Structure 1
Amino acid sequence: MQRIILYISIAIMSISTKLIAQETKSFEQQAKEIAKNIRTIAQEEKKALKEEVEAIDKAVQDGTMTKEQAEKTKAKIAEERAKNIETKIATEEEKLRELINGNLTLETKNDTVTTQNVFSIKKAKLVNKGEKRTTSQFVFATGFNNLVTNGAIANSDFGYLRSTFYEWGVTWNTRLSNNSNLLHLKYGLGFQYNILHATDNRIFEDTGDQTVLTTYPIDLKDNKTYFKNVYFVLPVHLEFDFSKTNEKDGKKIFKSHKAARFGIGGFVGVNTNSKQFLRYEIDGKKIKERTKADFNVNDFTYGLSAYVGYKQTSLYLKYDLNPMFKNNAIDQNNVSLGIRFDWN
């Protein structure tokens, strides 16, 4: 337990250092922009697919295409659109990784004052209006990631500062009481990306029944060599929100995410893919390798998570109750600690 507390303390100090080195607002703006790009990509591709399917249905009605041809064509274009989404979102995922590692340049926009003025006008108009009982948020979280081995994180096989995670998704927040703003049920869906950078020039190797770390014969680029698991998850939290409840004309006005709050709960999910990325040089040539396989990773995940913070920003902790690999001799459970943003 003392080792876990030590690890959490080190992680909190590291997060604080990163926050001092870069403005939180600038980080938040860039994260929002990347999230918006991801949503736009999915919306555009789905819209294009819908239009193509409608054109095929019309062709069937006009008699220029048989139903069998239409079904085959629909399956083909659906696969193409899915590949388009995966390819385009991969670019945005790389931007997120670079942002997390502090490699993106923080930008200041010339229209900041104008934007703030617009928001202040909107807030002035809504000052006397409360929220609906159920609101929605876009959630983005990022921080450090590692594996708990034999109940400890000390002497880990993975770099503490290089191993990271990020998570994004949509949540719905429902106030549970008619007369109190304290208790909320928060539930949603999203994606978790757990990334591990092994130390000592090692990589994961599938030996058939187990997945173990082995030394690679060529010198690897530490920051560009990593193992990534992606999960589609359904999180549920009981949230305690201490936002002030106002009253006007005898009517209570409720607003959330305006003060201190904390949530406790968990998540269940399914593994969508596991990939290992290698980067090295041979005779001056830069080599990149990407291997997509199951690596004996558990198909499903479930765990506990909690957050505590103020307004939209929180300290976030999540822990997988099931081991990452199916049949390894020693169970290793994923644990993550970082910061989380809930944008109404």
Structure 2
Amino acid sequence: MKRFLLLPLLTMLLALVSTTGSARALRALNDDTIVVRLPNQATMTLYVKDRAQLRELRNYKLDSLMLLLDTYIAQAEKASKNSSSEQVTMEFYPAKDQPGKRVPEQIRITMHNDSQTDRPAKKGERVDVTVGRVFGVTVEENSADGNDRVSVRVGSSAKSDSIRMAERKAKIEERANRPVHSNFTIDLGLNALTNKQQDQNGNSLDLRPWGSRYISFNWVYDIRLGAKGSPLYLRTGPELAFNNYMLDNNRRFVNQDGVTTLELPTEVGRNYEKSKLAVSTINLPLMLALSFRDDKGRNSFRVGAGGFVGYRLGSHTKLKYEEDGNTKKDKDRGSYNLEDFQYGLQGTMGIRGIDLFAKYSLNELFKNNRGPQAQAISFGVVLFN
């Protein structure tokens, strides 16, 4: 350790020792380490990298801090003994509990259960304590030489895996506890039709399942309902959706005399490789959603249900076929007597990293008596949720 840091550290440590008893030995191990042996043979090791990190520790009265930590560790140890998990993490907020006092804003304590096979397991064999973002304490019981050790790290990069895990969990919980959470997702799936009726020519609106694709780009806003930690949300946000309805049985859409019908090709021997109706809409869903998390703070199960309204932005038909050895593509824009407004029901369900969606239109795809009657269903997976 740099020479100009040695005297302040010794002064601080001796002040701490004076509250618990005189030190039997004080020994510098290396340039950034000081070891203090207390009368009860406990050992405290202090690691400090620079003066700025030292100031972070000097902001606290160490005797009061140790008493505070002892109280919280006792609570965490009690919770650990009643848990079957390998580790138990608890968070405390002294600044909120003791307003006006010079205490840390947050203290996170992780109790580890020893899993060694050469001796009976004991709850709380190791304790990791994080005070704020820069001050960490590690307590190890039953060390190799039989003496307890306490390691105090200020701003050290040598954090234990458990502390890193606790910090990640804290970030996850912070995001999860926001009153409003926004996200961008993509729905990718297929379209199908139900309650189909024949058109005026007696033709049915049959689709190719794998060619009738659905994709939407969603700006999702989850608004928490209830107190902090409530799993209930109100979900909404605009969606830009693209529906493809790929016809089967070599049919095509024909708009004639204000009525949309299904027709065979007029050219002899022509087979359509593709014959589809493409529709783009902007939708606004409104759903109630529940989101549950596991013991590690990760999303485990999600479910949502509600409705949506949508407005048609554009539509066109597209034909693809062979003619005289050449591939032809005909594209024709128009409304084709589609309903401009759509409304219906929709729902989502997710487990771990997999989310599914389904949408069902309550009104007809085409205007009444001006096109083949059917209602649309879209279903598939949610990406980037």
TM-score, scaled relative to structure 2: 0.50
Aligned mate of 1:139, from 181, 185, 189: 185
Tell me, in whole angstroms, the C-alpha distance in 1 between the residues paired with 2:293 and 2:187.
22
SS of match in other structure, 2:210: coil
Tell me, in whole angstroms, the C-alpha distance in 1 between the residues paired with 2:229 and 2:320.
54
Higher strand share: 2
The answer to whether the aligner puts 1:291 opposite 2:341 as a matched pair is no
SS of match in other structure, 2:211: coil
Higher helix share: 1
For each residue in 1:58-82, what CA deviation from the matched residue of structure 2 results, as whole angstroms up to 9, or x when unmatched? xxxxxxxxxxxxxxxxxxxxxxxxx
TM superposition shift of 1:169: 1.6
Tell me, in whole angstroms, the C-alpha distance in 2 between the residues paired with 1:123 and 1:305.
36
Aligned mate of 2:376, from 329, 334, 338: 334
Counterpart for residue 127 of structure 1 = 169
TM-aligned CA distance change 1:189 to 1:123, over 3 Å: farther
Tell me, in whole angstroms, the C-alpha distance in 2 between the residues paired with 1:126 and 1:216.
61
TM superposition shift of 1:244: 4.0
TM superposition shift of 1:181: 2.8
| Counterparts of residues 76-155 of structure 1 (less than 5 Å) | 126-129=168-171, 130-131=174-175, 132-150=178-196
Counterpart for residue 243 of structure 1 = 293
SS of match in other structure, 1:225: strand
TM superposition shift of 1:313: 2.6
Check conservation: 1:166, 1:192, Cα contact below 8 A: yes
TM superposition shift of 1:284: 1.4
For each residue in 1:295-333, what CA deviation from the matched residue of structure 2 results, as whole angstroms up to 9, or x when unmatched? 001111111001111245312110111111113375311
Q: Identify which of structures 1 and 2 has the higher relative contact order when contacts are C-alpha pairs closer than 8 Å and 6+ apart.
A: 1
Give the letter aligned to residue 209 of structure 1.
G
| Counterparts of residues 91-240 of structure 1 (less than 5 Å) | 126-129=168-171, 130-131=174-175, 132-150=178-196, 157-218=206-267, 219-222=270-273, 224-240=274-290
Tell me, in whole angstroms, the C-alpha distance in 1 between the residues paired with 2:218 and 2:369.
31
Tell me, in whole angstroms, the C-alpha distance in 2 between the residues paired with 1:311 and 1:183.
18
Give the letter aligned to residue 135 of structure 1.
H
Tell me, in whole angstroms, the C-alpha distance in 2 between the residues paired with 1:326 and 1:236.
25
Tell me, in whole angstroms, the C-alpha distance in 2 between the residues paired with 1:133 and 1:144.
33
TM superposition shift of 1:197: 1.1
Check conservation: 1:210, 1:327, Cα contact below 8 A: no
Tell me, in whole angstroms, the C-alpha distance in 2 between the residues paired with 1:303 and 1:212.
25
Check conservation: 2:185, 2:217, Cα contact below 8 A: yes
Tell me, in whole angstroms, the C-alpha distance in 2 between the residues paired with 1:299 and 1:289.
24
TM superposition shift of 1:232: 0.6
The alignment of Structure 1 onto Structure 2 pairs a total of residues equal to: 211
Tell me, in whole angstroms, the C-alpha distance in 1 between the residues paired with 2:289 and 2:353.
13
TM-aligned CA distance change 1:135 to 1:151, over 3 Å: farther
For each residue in 1:123-163, what CA deviation from the matched residue of structure 2 results, as whole angstroms up to 9, or x when unmatched? 875431311221111121111212113499xx861112221
SS of match in other structure, 1:128: helix
Unaligned runs of 5+ in 2: 1-162, 199-203
TM superposition shift of 1:221: 4.2
| Counterparts of residues 263-274 of structure 1 (less than 5 Å) | 263-274=304-315
Counterpart for residue 346 of structure 2 = 305
Tell me, in whole angstroms, the C-alpha distance in 1 between the residues paired with 2:319 and 2:205.
20
SS of match in other structure, 1:201: coil
Give the letter aligned to residue 207 of structure 2.
F
Give the letter aligned to residue 161 of structure 1.
W
Give the letter aligned to residue 181 of structure 2.
T
Q: RMSD of the TM alignment (CA)? A: 2.6
TM-aligned CA distance change 1:151 to 1:321, over 3 Å: farther
Counterpart for residue 262 of structure 1 = 303
Unaligned runs of 5+ in 1: 1-120, 247-254
TM-aligned CA distance change 1:243 to 1:295, over 3 Å: same
Check conservation: 1:301, 1:320, Cα contact below 8 A: yes
TM-aligned CA distance change 1:275 to 1:312, over 3 Å: farther
SS of match in other structure, 1:238: strand
TM-aligned CA distance change 1:323 to 1:122, over 3 Å: farther
Check conservation: 1:239, 1:261, Cα contact below 8 A: yes
TM-score, scaled relative to structure 1: 0.56
SS of match in other structure, 1:235: strand
Give the letter aligned to residue 177 of structure 1.
G
